[in-house]
Chain A
Amino acid sequence: EDKVVQSPLSLVVHEGDTVTLNCSYEVTNFRSLLWYKQEKKAPTFLFMLTSSGIEKKSGRLSSILDKKELFSILNITATQTGDSAIYLCAPSLNSGGYQKVTFGTGTKLQVIP
C-alpha cells in the first residue's frame, strides 16, 4: 500500500523565519514527487521533482528529493503571512496508462506577523 508521511503536521512561525517541511514516501513505480500549496480551495502546484539531489527553486521556496532515502523537503525562507497554507506532498507513479498521485495529510503552516 502506498504511504506518504509529512511532518510536522502543523507549524506556527513568525514572519521572516525559515521553515523546512518534510515528506517521506513508500510507493511502487515511483515517477516523480509533487509539492502543492493549498490555501482555501484547490491545491496549486509548486514543484515537481524527478531526480535526486537537484534543488528546484522558485523565489523563496526550494525543494529537493532523495530517491534513495525516499524523502523530500520543502524550504521556505523569509516567510510571509501569505505563506500560511497547507503544504501537500504527493508522490506520483505510473499506473495503467495514467498518472496516479497519492497525497499526504499535509503540513499546516501558519505565519504570524
Chain B
Amino acid sequence: ETGVTQTPRHLVMGMTNKKSLKCEQHLGHNAMYWYKQSAKKPLELMFVYSLEERVENNSVPSRFSPECPNSSHLFLHLHTLQPEDSALYLCASSRDRLAGLETQYFGPGTRLLVL
C-alpha cells in the first residue's frame, strides 16, 4: 500500500465510449503524474501536474484529457480511444520540492482494454 489509489483497477471500453480514470493520493504530495505502460515498452510519461497546474504534456493525443481539481486528485478522461491505447495506466505522486530528493509513489494502475 503506497498511499496512492486508482479506480477502476480494470476497464474494458469500446472505441466510442467515454470513461474516466481516477487517482487519489493520501501523502500530502504536490505533484501527480499519469504514465502509460504498454507491453514491451518503457513507462511513458503522459502528464504532470505540479500544484494543480499542468507543467508537462508529452505530446499525448487529445483523446486523453487530464484533470487535476486539487493536489490530492487526478483524473484521466478518455474518449474515442483506439485499440492501441490498451495498456496499464499508472498514476504517481511526489513531493514537489527542488531541494528535496524524493521518489515517486505509484498507484496500482488501471488495466485498460479498448475493443
Q: Please list the residues of chain A having a beta carbon within 8 angstroms of any beta carbon in chain B.
A: 4, 31-32, 34, 41-45, 48, 50, 88, 92, 94-106
**A97, B101: Cβ atoms closer than 8 Å:** no
User: Does B98 sit within 8 A of A, measured CB to CB?
Assistant: yes
Residues of B with Cβ closer than 8 Å to A? 2, 31, 40-43, 45, 48, 50-51, 55-56, 88, 90, 94, 96, 98, 101-109
Asked, given contacts A41-B108, A43-B106, A48-B103, whether A95 binds B56 with beta carbons under 8 Å apart, the answer is: yes
**B4, closest chain A residue (CB):** A42
Determine whether the beta carbon of B55 is less than 8 Å from that of A96.
yes
- Overall SS of chain A's interface: strand
How far is it, in angstroms, between the C-alpha of A74 and the C-alpha of B45 when the chains are bound? 24
Q: Chain B residues with Cβ under 8 A from A105's Cβ? A: 40-42
Nearest chain B CB to A83 CB, angstrom units: 19
- Chain B contact residues, majority secondary structure: loop
Smallest CB separation, A64 vs chain B (Å) = 17
Min CB distance B93 to A, Å, is: 11
Give the contacting residue for A103; candidates B43, B96, B98; CB below 8 A.
B43
Given contacts A42-B2, A95-B56, A98-B50, contact A4 B42 (CB under 8 A): yes
- Let me know if A98 and B31 touch, CB within 8 A: yes
A sample of 20 inter-chain contacts (CB < 8 A) reads A34-B104, A41-B108, A42-B90, A42-B106, A43-B43, A44-B2, A45-B103, A88-B43, A94-B98, A97-B51, A98-B31, A98-B56, A98-B96, A99-B94, A100-B48, A100-B56, A101-B45, A103-B42, A103-B43, A104-B42
